Structure 1
Amino acid sequence: MMYTVQPVDSLYLISQRFGVSIEQIKQANQLSGDIIFIGQRLYIPINLQRPTVYTVKPGDSLYLIARRYNTIVESIQLLNNLTGTEIRVGQTLTIPLYTEAIVNVNIANIRSGPGTNFSVVTTMVRNAKLPVIGSSNGWYKVRLHNGVEAWISGTVATLRAYSGDKPITNILGFYTLEEGPALPSSFTSFVNNPGELSQTGLFMFRISANNPTTIENFGEFTDQDIRNLVAIAHRNNVKIFPVVHNLLYRPGGTTLAKNVVKVLVSNPQNRTAFALNLLRLIQKYNFDGVNIDIEDVFIEDSANLSLLYAEIARVLRPRGYFFSASVPSRVSDQPFNPFSDPFDYAAIGNAVDEFVAMLYNEHGWPGSGPGPVVSIGWMERVLRYAITKMPREKIVGAVSVFGFDFNLTTGRNTYVTYNMAINLANRYNKEIIFDEETQTPMFAYVDGQGNEHEVWFENAQSIYAKIKLAWDLGIKGIALWRLGMEDESIWTMLRNQVVVRKD
């Protein structure tokens, strides 16, 4: 769990409070000494399978306990079925790890202060979820998608408190336009499930090959299309941002993509111009920030690439905009894969607010052989490396919701959505096996030409396993590439077995 250092805290007091050693806290947070600061966020490596239970001591009150654990009195009352504020010495209380207010009317006013005399900041629709960070006289202090703190009346919202008996995680859903008859757009998944999304990244913008300091539309859409998506996200308290990438140039492919980056990062003037164009893009559509998805880079451009991320942060952070980056998977400081070697995890992690480790390159690339796009072991290997390079609360593990049909005879791989995989299994009357080692569903079949196939894909069970690992590792959450290709029961799993954070 994450803990925010309070006045008079020390590593000793925190270790006693949570039942872990000082050394464990220091190792988990890469602390070289014993000095901590008010407001600092620390990862507490407690056993996340068991909720935190506190035993009331002489002099305690619900107010003091709530302050100690960064929660509110109402949440402790709710989680422990308390009707009043009286507690007794020796009584055990389950401590909330996360609290949210869920809008229970069609339209709810969100105000600048705890009362109807305060101005309306924005409005939220029914079932919108808002993380609660305080309370006052029947009003809840909440955090909005853009980081703004505001207030909602308890008369129009239902309070829910969570102990950690279920994983509490952020979910980033990547959004794309239609890619063909079998690959629908993400729109339906997005509009039907905003309560199970913390963030949405629109894969709809690209670095221009003609002028790499500028940004072009990727696909066919109008300004109003984007504004509609932003409005849907914001009234459901979902953070939304463009994904600006250097992919899928035709003609030119990956060589052109690398040359685009080379020009972009080559000098301070280009880096600044690009950062300012990102700022204009954000402001044009009222986005909450941006995600940079650069994937093809010459190794000699590594240092300049890191400077680009630093420059983007310099431009966006003072203006309050969120900065996310999607980065290829690495597992060590040593050269491992020419695709991911140019990316300095420590430098990028220092610049961004959110580091999205793109895990979906274990199998499926030409010559990889059959296997899951993201096995549970590969995911853990990449994330454990990332944790050594930056605060774990910045890290998101990006996982696939798609899979591949591996033709073992020809060596060719074909993209499959969940529905395509199920249809193949039904067509060839094959039983789907859940591979325990990789935590991934798969099946094998022989086609009409006698070619042998293995199909590895993702379902609700495999995605839950990845959410559970993210929770156990204490990272921010997972990202889903991409909405519209998933097992529909993922959304039921997220509603019933997971708590999706909105902050």
Structure 2
Amino acid sequence: MEIYVVQPGDNLFGIAQAFGVPMSQIMEDNRLPNPSLLVVGQTLVIRFPEEVYTVQPGDTLVSVALQSGLSLRQLYRNNPILEGQPTLYPGQTLVLRYQGSPGPSVTVNSYAYPFINQSLLQRTLPFLTYLTPFTYGIQEDGELVSLDDEPLIAMGRAVGTAALMHLSTLTESGNFSNDLANLVLNDLSLQEVLIDNVLTTLQTKGYSGLDVDFEFVFPQDALPYAAFIRRLRDRLNPLGYPVIVALAPKTSSDQPGLLYEGHSYRDLGEAANRVFLMTYEWGYTYGPPMAVAPLPNVRAVVEYALT
């Protein structure tokens, strides 16, 4: 695989000829709706097929996978043109293997609202390790706000994508409640009820782990928050469920601001099995034009996290 940066005067036909791959494949691999609309500086993924298969009458995706020794998941990944759908037609060309050894393994997670576009989700799922339906809220008595997550979990399971349960203090108005977090983090009996409900949901829905996302936590609740994550880990880990905690994008331990002061990287890092750095939304819908996740900003957060 190569990453090609579009130069002045380039066109897709010429790029395809230069690399010796079909123009249609470059279009599919890069989701290009119009081959004539390239932008200087744009990056294109160029992949080199090593083994292909021409679909015969009577073939199904399952039979091709079995015959070629590939999983359905890998067959979908090798052929974005399928868009996660099992439909084949005679004469269609499928890529079974690409040149070059596989790259490093990465874990990929994606949040999804229950109302996500189904075709978008279908074609994305084969590339995800985890799918995280968004979100289970918390009530003041420790009960959970229900979520229509079963269709998403089922779609993921069909292609081998596991599901993570998402627990947050997001209210119906769309804001994270620091008052609700304060209530939960300082009432151990309430925590017991909440943890019991989380465990029941994990087991009945078939989730593979828990992602906790409490934002705008009061500064005085930083240590109680870490203690709560530790209690979750102690209850859930013996049953095979990892606990992940989402962290605001800090660049120093004493960074001011309500978004940051309630998240102690050291304490939460010690309490959780994994952490998720929320290195995004510098650019957003109502802000000035800029990248959602500028590389210098992301790097600064990662470098602090590594300390």
Partner in structure 2 of residue 386 of structure 1: 305
Kindly indicate which of the two structures has a greater share of residues assigned to strand.
1
Partner in structure 1 of residue 72 of structure 2: 127
AA in 1 matched with 2:269:
G
AA in 1 matched with 2:182:
K
Partner in structure 1 of residue 164 of structure 2: 241
Partner in structure 1 of residue 90 of structure 2: none
Matched, 1:305 2:250: no
Query: Which whole-Å CA distance do the structure 1 matches of 2:204 and 2:99 have between them?
Result: 37
1:169-188 matched pairs, under 5 angstroms: 169-178=106-115, 185-188=116-119
5+ unaligned residues in a row in structure 1: which ranges?
1-103, 110-124, 131-157, 179-184, 389-503
- Render the CA deviation track for 1:200-250: whole Å, top value 9, x for unaligned: 000032112x32x221125xx3xxxx3333232223221102212112443
1:70-109 matched pairs, under 5 angstroms: 105=62
DSSP 3-state at the match of 2:200: helix
Query: Which whole-Å CA distance do the structure 2 matches of 1:160 and 1:272 have between them?
Result: 51
DSSP 3-state at the match of 1:324: strand
Q: CA deviation at 1:369?
A: 4.6
5+ unaligned residues in a row in structure 2: which ranges?
1-60, 76-95
Q: CA deviation at 1:282?
A: 0.5
1:248-397 matched pairs, under 5 angstroms: 248-250=171-173, 253-254=175-176, 257-364=177-284, 369-388=288-307
- Render the CA deviation track for 1:451-501: whole Å, top value 9, x for unaligned: xxxxxxxxxxxxxxxxxxxxxxxxxxxxxxxxxxxxxxxxxxxxxxxxxxx
Q: CA deviation at 1:352?
A: 2.3
Q: May I ask how many residue pairs the two structures share in their alignment?
A: 226
Kept in 2: contact 1:205–1:217 (CA 8 A): yes
> Structure 1 residues 172, 186: closer, same or farther in 2, change over 3 A?
farther
TM norm structure 2: 0.64
Q: Select 1:227's aligned residue among 150, 162, 167.
A: 150
TM norm structure 1: 0.41
User: Which 4+ runs in 1 deviate beyond 6 A?
Assistant: 158-162
DSSP 3-state at the match of 2:258: coil
DSSP 3-state at the match of 1:128: helix
Percent identity, aligned pairs only, is: 16
Kept in 2: contact 1:246–1:296 (CA 8 A): no
Query: Which whole-Å CA distance do the structure 1 matches of 2:145 and 2:285 have between them?
Result: 27
Query: Which whole-Å CA distance do the structure 2 matches of 1:296 and 1:190 have between them?
Result: 30
Q: Select 1:202's aligned residue among 119, 133, 151.
A: 133
Kept in 2: contact 1:359–1:374 (CA 8 A): yes
Query: Which whole-Å CA distance do the structure 2 matches of 1:336 and 1:161 have between them?
Result: 49
Kindly indicate which of the two structures has a greater share of residues assigned to helix.
2
AA in 2 matched with 1:171:
V
Q: CA deviation at 1:259?
A: 0.7
Q: CA deviation at 1:320?
A: 0.4
DSSP 3-state at the match of 1:169: coil
Query: Which whole-Å CA distance do the structure 1 matches of 2:235 and 2:99 have between them?
Result: 37
Kept in 2: contact 1:201–1:242 (CA 8 A): yes
Matched, 1:216 2:145: yes
AA in 1 matched with 2:72:
N
Partner in structure 1 of residue 36 of structure 2: none
> Structure 1 residues 304, 360: closer, same or farther in 2, change over 3 A?
same
DSSP 3-state at the match of 1:340: helix
Query: Which whole-Å CA distance do the structure 1 matches of 2:64 and 2:168 have between them?
Result: 36
Kept in 2: contact 1:276–1:315 (CA 8 A): no
Report 1 or 2 for greater relative contact order, CA contacts < 8 Å, sequence distance ≥ 6.
Answer: 1
Kept in 2: contact 1:173–1:200 (CA 8 A): yes
Kept in 2: contact 1:175–1:187 (CA 8 A): no
AA in 2 matched with 1:201:
T
DSSP 3-state at the match of 2:259: coil
DSSP 3-state at the match of 2:62: coil
Partner in structure 1 of residue 47 of structure 2: none
Q: CA deviation at 1:160?
A: 8.7
Q: CA deviation at 1:381?
A: 0.7
